[in-house]
């Protein structure tokens, strides 16, 4: 049952602007769910497959054109994400104890409201609204900060793109594309930790398979939903939800 819940949370929250890591940390506090590196790796693979399925056209284009402007933007964004993560790593590691969740959930909700209101007021030139090198850097930096649990990766990066004058659809697609290298890097880091720790893998196979399927199917549906929601630019319900989560996490943790 726990594995199925983790699969649902991973598939649903990884791509919605509500922070999957924040929910997983909160779940561990409420239900005493222990973090399993092996389970985390499997669920990361599921969400990676979900991205590859939905964004397959864009990904095939990038594979065929590895030195295109679009590909270079992703490289630049990823570099700046990694730089932020390396600088803030001690703080990021300690943040997974959960003490910052009320603050980060609250900040995520506020950021969504601000980006939605500001974006509607901006008049954009079609060319200027595309993903530029500068916007790629801004969204990469935002993704680095969004490693903190409670700060939604998709919400933070899309908001950063919108606040820098980007087009909502372009920012949403770019947000999902730049998550691919980060998901792969996270998986590699977890594999390394697992091999170094020598942790014995003891997990029920059938529930894990169902958990993988749930994370994959829900992930695909969630990405498609987010792309549609971004076109309408309606994040207010997610903001309200994040404010509620900030209150709940404050009660549970503080």
Alpha-carbon Rg for the chain, nearest whole angstrom, is 18
- Of the two residues 84 and 35, the one the predictor is more confident about is 84
Q: What percent of the chain has pLDDT over 70?
A: 92
Q: What would the mean pLDDT of 39-49 be, rounded to a whole number?
A: 89
1 contact partners, CB below 8 Å, separation of at least 6? 207
Residue closest to 47 by CA, chosen among 154, 143, 158:
154
Is residue 199 scored above 70 in pLDDT? no
The answer to whether the beta carbons of residues 203 and 2 sit under 8 Å apart is no
Compute, in degrees rounded to 10, the torsion defined by CA atoms 60, 74, 172, 152: 120
Is residue 197 scored above 90 in pLDDT? no
**Quick one: pLDDT at residue 56?**
95
Q: How far apart are CA 130 and CA 125, in angstroms?
A: 9
Measure the CA angle with vertex 24, ends 20 and 27; round to 5°.
140
Distances (CA, A) of 206 to 38, 113, 210, 213: 15, 41, 6, 11
* Alpha helices (H) along the chain: 2-13, 20-31, 37-54, 56-64, 69-95, 101-121, 133-145, 153-163, 168-197, 205-232, 236-253
**Quick one: pLDDT at residue 85?**
94
When the pLDDT of each residue in the chain is averaged and rounded to a whole number, the result is 89
Domain count for the chain: 1
Is residue 127 scored above 60 in pLDDT? no
Residue closest to 138 by CA, chosen among 215, 81, 223:
81
Res. 202 pLDDT band, cuts 50 70 90: low
Q: Per-residue pLDDT tens for 75-125?
A: 999 999 999 999 999 999 899 888 999 999 999 999 999 998 887 666 555
Per the document, the length of the chain is 254
The answer to whether the beta carbons of residues 84 and 206 sit under 8 Å apart is no
Q: How far apart are CA 44 and CA 14, in angstroms?
A: 9
Q: How far apart are CA 21 and CA 5, in angstroms?
A: 14
Q: How far apart are CA 12 and CA 226, in angstroms?
A: 11
**Quick one: pLDDT at residue 37?**
72
The domain in which residue 49 lies consists of 2-253
């Amino acid at each position: 049952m726990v594995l199925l819940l983790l699969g649902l949370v991973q598939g649903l929250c990884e791509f919605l602007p509500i922070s999957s890591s924040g929910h997983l940390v909160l779940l561990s506090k409420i239900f005493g769910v222990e973090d399993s590196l092996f389970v985390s790796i499997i669920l990361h693979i599921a969400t990676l497959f979900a991205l590859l399925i939905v964004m397959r056209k864009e990904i095939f284009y990038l594979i065929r054109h590895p030195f295109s402007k679009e590909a270079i933007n992703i490289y630049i964004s990823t570099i700046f994400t990694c730089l932020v993560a390396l600088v803030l790593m001690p703080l990021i590691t300690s943040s997974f104890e959960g003490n910052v969740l009320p603050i980060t959930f609250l900040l995520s909700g506020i950021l969504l409201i601000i980006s939605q209101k500001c974006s509607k007021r901006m008049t954009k030139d079609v060319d200027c609204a595309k993903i530029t090198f500068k916007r790629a850097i801004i969204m990469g930096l935002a993704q680095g900060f969004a490693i903190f649990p409670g700060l939604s990766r998709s919400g933070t990066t899309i908001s950063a793109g919108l606040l820098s004058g980007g087009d909502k659809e372009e920012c949403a697609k770019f947000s999902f594309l730049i998550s691919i290298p980060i998901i792969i890097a996270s998986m590699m880091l977890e594999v390394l930790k697992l091999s170094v720790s020598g942790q014995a893998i003891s997990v029920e196979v059938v529930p894990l398979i169902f958990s993988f399927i749930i994370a994959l199917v829900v992930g695909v549906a969630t990405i498609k939903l987010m792309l549609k929601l971004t076109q309408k630019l309606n994040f207010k319900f997610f903001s309200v939800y994040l404010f509620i989560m900030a209150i709940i996490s404050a009660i549970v943790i503080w």
